[in-house]
């Protein structure tokens, strides 16, 4: 017997559509076949993660019932009992310590409906100011830069199809070949059409193999490099003066600043010499059309916001935006990294990108929710700052929904210590993640095969994901968990939903008139049209594929240059910690690996964490290939296997982020926060490395069993 389910990949922001065909055999075993479905982003392609995503969703490890921890051990309980325990604990903690003693921590894999509801749940059911989400570590620098420069943050300002038509592409700190693999054909086609590709990355990644010019930058110095590029563009008259005059503000100040810089200083900082800076600046400056893409390599630094703004300066100075083949892309990460940042799970936001501290915005959303504006709390703090409040015991109870913060936060040891101090931790997840293992109560949530809802992909296209496969055991949708809990807290009237579409109908109205306006989008339309770009205020009108054609989103219609002053990176190598460690992703694993490590096919590709190190550097520290090494920073250390490769800078090592515990790169990362967006300085930590000796290995075996 056969059954087939149309859905979307649960992983990255491309949101490839797929069909999962289940063949049920007479012995009750099932086998699965996966087909890519046509769609405007991946055009039917799937990468290895998408093809194997069904494996974790169908894994025996899936949570099936709520689990309550008593005397250190989990036991299954009913939903009734679980909801009672949570409501009792939350209410007791709030009555003793105030409404803000309970915090909520969401994620960018949640559907728009669940993310919207999490924000509403915080403000209406719990009335706590403390709600934030993992996108803080992901999109916050690019998002805040887009808002400041353009007046609006949407991942791509242009449809993907325009990539193929552009003459010059800058890929800064983005490894599309491993992180959004099904988009690579757009870039290879652009190259076939004659485009010049410039890659900025400390490693020769699969993406960098595409480059005509590869700037192998020192981690944490992109801001200086972008300033150097602008200096050459200005010096060699490659700007677009009429665009600057008619469509932007603030160029003069930037001009004065970059003119004062010396390329030799920028070389000293970035490791990129004057000739290469000039070559890249000319390629971008002289091209008639060009696009710049940034991702976490540029953004996850203490100056991530300003680094992105410096790249946006290049776009504005050359007038390369608002027309075909000209624009910017913040390469969004998680499946709903885009929608997840629009509808209110962020500490300072309300739906539709409205601001919780803005009186008009509060009044509007309060009217949609049927509460008094004064009853809405004020803004809270960012994800890592929430962990600081947990550590300080200002936050006493926490509900984590769709994130694994004890692995993904910087300075993970501190975060773990904080979570242990909580009076009550609830985690809603698919699995017993590292964070769920620490919880007092764990709730089983539904996965992509089972959970219908909308997600907004990196282009800003809203997509409806099917989710018809029955959930395992008693797993519930995230939005339902929130609704059920709200009812237990006496707020049922505000959370009356019986399906995702009803929530979307409310979200449409709540976002109406906001920057990310979804009012014109309906489920019926999404079923008909495959996807709709926001902003889409009109049910009969099209969405906006290309942004900023005539005006930017600031009140005066103009874009803003930023004087982006560069300094040294958050942490630099010194005698004690002589190397710089950066980090990121591998093709076959996803984020903290909770899902992909439960897929046998994906796990088999990469079984354990590694450290990429240059052979000459390895020799200096007497490290052989494939040896276990300890990588230590001022904050903590991890044990990983060395992988010698000449593709990385000699002064840099790279450790992926897909493992927890003793292999967790975040044991060592730096929680220094960007002042504008509170992005942690994940990608530059000074470290020392050493191969483990026999005594270390014996000790390790003893502790790790």
Ligand X SMILES: Nc1nc2c(c(=O)[nH]1)N[C@H]1C(S)=C(S)[C@@H](COP(=O)(O)OP(=O)(O)OC[C@H]3O[C@@H](n4cnc5c(=O)[nH]c(N)nc54)[C@H](O)[C@@H]3O)O[C@H]1N2
Q: Distance between CA atoms of 609 and 638, rounded to whole angstroms?
A: 10
Closest contact distance (angstroms) between CB of 530 and ligand SF4 is: 15
Nearest residue (CB) to ligand SF4, 322 versus 339: 339
Residue 40 interacting with ligand SF4 (CB under 6 A): no
Nearer to ligand X, 585 or 614 (CB): 585
Contact with ligand X (CB under 6 A) among 42, 227, 239, 334:
334
What span, in angstroms and rounded, lies between the C-alpha atoms of 665 and 636? 9
- CB 159, min distance to ligand SF4, A: 17
- Distance (Å, whole) CA 74 – CA 80: 17
**DSSP tag of 334:** B
- Cα pseudo-dihedral 567, 571, 577, 583, rounded to 10: -120
With the C-alpha atoms ordered 523, 529, 534, 539, is the resulting torsion angle positive or negative? negative
**Between 333 and 569, CB nearer to ligand SF4:** 333
All residues at 6 or more sequence positions from 457 whose CB lies less than 8 Å from its CB, including other chains: 13, 14, 15, 41, 155, 332, 338, 463, 531
Cβ 37 to ligand SF4 shortest distance, Å: 11
Build a one-symbol-per-residue string for 549-568: x at contacts with ligand X by CB under 6 A, - elsewhere.
--------------------
CA of 39: how far to CAs of 179, 328, 339, 388, in Å? 19, 22, 18, 42
Query: Which segment (89-97, 237-245, 546-554, 665-673) binds ligand X by CB under 6 A?
Result: 665-673
219 binds ligand X (CB under 6 A): yes
Residues 332-371 contacting Mo ion, CB under 5 A: 333
String marking each residue 4-23 x if it binds ligand SF4 according to CB under 6 A: -----x-xx-xxx-------
**79: burial class by Cβ within 10 Å (0-12, 13-18, 19+)?**
middle
Scanning residues 470 to 489, which ones bind Mo ion (CB under 5 A)? none
Please report how close the Cβ of residue 319 comes to ligand X at its closest, in angstroms. Answer: 24
In DSSP notation, 379-423 reads ----HHHHHHHHHHTSS-EEEEES--HHHHSSSHHHHHHHHHH-S
Cβ contact 140:677 at 8 Å? yes
What residues between 127 and 146 interact with ligand SF4 by CB under 6 A? Answer: none
Specify the residue, 203 or 362, whose C-beta has the smaller distance to ligand X.
203
Q: Per CB under 6 A, does 447 bind ligand SF4?
A: no
**Binding residue for ligand X (CB under 6 A) from 120, 278, 296, 480?**
296
Residue 585's binding partner, choosing from ligand SF4, ligand X, Mo ion, none, with beta-carbon cut-off 5 to 8 A by kind? Answer: ligand X
Region from 45-53, 365-373, 412-420, 551-559 binding ligand SF4, contact rule CB under 6 A: 45-53
Can you tell me whether residue 196 is helix, strand or coil?
Answer: strand
Closest to ligand X by CB, 100 vs 612, is: 612
Would you call 95 exposed, middle or buried from its count of C-beta atoms within 10 A (0-12, 13-18, 19+)?
Answer: exposed
What is the rounded CA–CA span in Å between residue 536 and residue 686? 46
| Burial category of 700 from C-beta neighbours within 10 Å (exposed 0-12, middle 13-18, buried 19 and up) | middle
When CB distances are held under 5 to 8 angstroms depending on the partner's kind, the choice from ligand SF4, ligand X, Mo ion, none that residue 46 binds is ligand SF4
Interface positions, 352-371, toward ligand SF4 (CB under 6 A): none
Q: Is 179 in the site for ligand X (CB under 6 A)?
A: yes
CB of 620 to ligand X, least distance (A): 21
Q: How far is the CB of 590 from ligand SF4 (least distance, A)?
A: 7
Sketch the per residue contact string, 121 through 160, with ligand X: x for CB under 6 A, - otherwise: -------------x--xx----------------------
Task: Round to whole Å and give the CA distance between 101 and 98.
Answer: 6
Q: Rule CB under 6 A: is residue 478 a binding residue for ligand X? A: yes
Residue of minimal Cβ distance to ligand SF4: 50
Q: Compare residues 244 and 673 and give the one whose CB is closer to ligand X.
A: 673
Is residue 181 at the binding interface for ligand SF4, with CB under 6 A as the rule? Answer: yes
In 175-189, which positions are buried (b, 16+ CB within 10 angstroms) versus exposed (e)? bbbbbbbbbbbbbee
| Strand (E) or helix (H) holding 105 | strand 102-106
Q: Which of 4, 38, 290, 54 is nearest to 157 (CA)?
A: 290
User: How far is residue 76 from each of residues 80, 404, 441, 677, measured CA to CA in Å?
Assistant: 12, 21, 10, 40
| Closest distance of CB 599 from ligand SF4, Å | 12
Residue 679 CA to residue 384 CA, distance in Å, equals 9
Helical ranges in 58-111 per DSSP H: 79-97
Cβ neighbours of 264 (radius 10 Å): 10
The residue from 103, 173, 339, 351 that contacts ligand X (CB under 6 A) is 173
Q: Which of residues 119-178 bind Mo ion (CB under 5 A)?
A: 138
Q: Which of 285, 322, 333, 466 binds ligand X (CB under 6 A)?
A: 333
| Binding region for ligand SF4 (CB under 6 A) | 9, 11-12, 14-16, 42, 46-47, 49-50, 180-182
| Binding region for Mo ion (CB under 5 A) | 138, 333
| Binding region for ligand X (CB under 6 A) | 12, 49, 107-110, 134, 137-138, 172-175, 178-180, 200-203, 205, 217, 219-220, 222, 295-298, 300, 333-334, 401-405, 407-408, 428-431, 433, 445, 478, 582-585, 587, 589-592, 594-595, 654, 657, 665-666, 669, 682-683
């Amino acid at each position: 017997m056969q059954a087939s389910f149309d859905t979307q990949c649960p992983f990255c922001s491309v949101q490839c559509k797929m069909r999962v065909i289940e063949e049920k055999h007479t012995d009750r075993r099932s086998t699965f076949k996966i087909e890519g479905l046509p769609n405007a982003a991946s055009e039917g392609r799937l990468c290895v993660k998408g093809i194997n995503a069904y494996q974790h969703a169908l894994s025996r490890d899936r949570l099936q019932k709520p689990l309550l921890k008593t005397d250190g051990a989990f036991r299954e309980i009913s939903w009734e009992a679980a909801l009672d325990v949570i409501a009792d604990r939350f209410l007791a903690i709030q009555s003793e310590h105030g409404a803000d003693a309970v915090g909520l921590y969401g994620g960018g894999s949640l559907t728009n409906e669940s993310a919207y509801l999490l924000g509403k749940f915080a403000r209406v059911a719990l009335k706590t100011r403390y709600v934030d989400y993992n996108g803080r570590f992901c999109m916050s620098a690019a998002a805040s830069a887009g808002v400041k420069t353009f007046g609006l943050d949407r991942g791509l300002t242009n449809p993907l199809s325009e990539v193929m038509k552009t003459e010059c592409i800058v890929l800064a700190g983005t490894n599309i070949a491993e992180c959004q693999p099904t988009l690579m054909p757009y870039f290879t086609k652009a190259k076939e059409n004659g485009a010049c590709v410039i890659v900025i990355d400390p490693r020769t990644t699969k993406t960098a193999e595409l480059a005509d010019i590869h700037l192998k930058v020192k981690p944490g110095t992109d801001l200086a490099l972008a300033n150097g590029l602008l200096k050459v563009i200005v010096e060699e008259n490659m700007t677009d003066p009429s665009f600057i005059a008619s469509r932007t503000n603030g160029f003069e100040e930037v001009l004065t600043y970059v003119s004062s810089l010396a390329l030799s200083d920028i070389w000293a900082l970035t490791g990129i010499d004057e000739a290469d800076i000039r070559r890249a600046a000319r390629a971008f400056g002289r091209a008639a059309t060009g696009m710049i893409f940034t991702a976490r390599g540029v953004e996850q630094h203490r100056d991530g916001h300003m680094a992105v703004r410096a790249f946006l300066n290049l776009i504005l100075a050359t007038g390369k935006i608002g027309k075909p083949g000209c624009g910017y892309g913040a390469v969004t990460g998680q499946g709903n990294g885009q929608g997840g940042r629009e509808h209110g799970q962020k500490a300072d936001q309300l739906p539709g990108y409205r601001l919780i501290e803005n009186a008009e915005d509060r009044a509007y959303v309060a009217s949609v929710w049927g509460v008094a504006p004064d009853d809405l709390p004020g803004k809270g703090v960012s994800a890592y700052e929430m962990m600081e409040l947990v550590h300080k015991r200002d936050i006493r109870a926490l509900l984590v929904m769709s994130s694994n913060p004890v692995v993904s936060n910087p300075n993970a040891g501190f975060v773990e210590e904080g979570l242990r101090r909580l009076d009550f931790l609830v985690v809603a997840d698919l699995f017993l993640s590292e964070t769920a293992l620490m919880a007092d109560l764990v709730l089983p949530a539904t996965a992509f095969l089972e959970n219908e809802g909308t997600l907004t992909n990196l282009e800003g296209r809203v997509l409806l994901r099917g989710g018809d496969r029955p959930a395992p055991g008693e797993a519930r949708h995230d939005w339902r968990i929130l609704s059920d809990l709200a009812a237990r807290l006496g707020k049922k009237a505000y959370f009356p939903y019986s399906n995702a579409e009803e929530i979307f109908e409310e979200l449409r109205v709540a976002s109406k008139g906001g920057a990310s306006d979804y009012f014109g989008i309906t489920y019926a339309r999404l079923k008909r049209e495959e996807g709709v770009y926001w902003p889409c205020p009109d049910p009969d009108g099209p969405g906006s594929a290309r942004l900023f054609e005539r005006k930017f989103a600031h009140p005066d219609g103009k874009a803003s240059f930023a004087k982006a002053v560069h300094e040294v990176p958050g942490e630099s190598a010194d005698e004690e910690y002589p190397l710089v460690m950066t980090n990121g992703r591998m093709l076959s694993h996803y984020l903290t690996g909770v899902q992909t490590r439960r897929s046998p096919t994906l796990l088999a590709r990469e079984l354990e964490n590694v450290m990429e190190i240059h052979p000459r550097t390895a020799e200096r520290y007497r490290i052989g290939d494939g040896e276990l090494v300890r990588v230590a920073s001022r904050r903590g250390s991890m044990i990983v296997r060395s992988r010698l490769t000449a593709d990385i800078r000699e002064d840099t090592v790279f450790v992926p982020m897909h493992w927890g515990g003793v292999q967790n790169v975040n044991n060592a990362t730096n929680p220094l926060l960007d002042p504008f967006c509170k992005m942690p300085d994940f990608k530059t930590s000074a470290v020392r490395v050493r191969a483990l000796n026999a005594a270390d290995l014996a000790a390790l075996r003893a502790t790790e069993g």
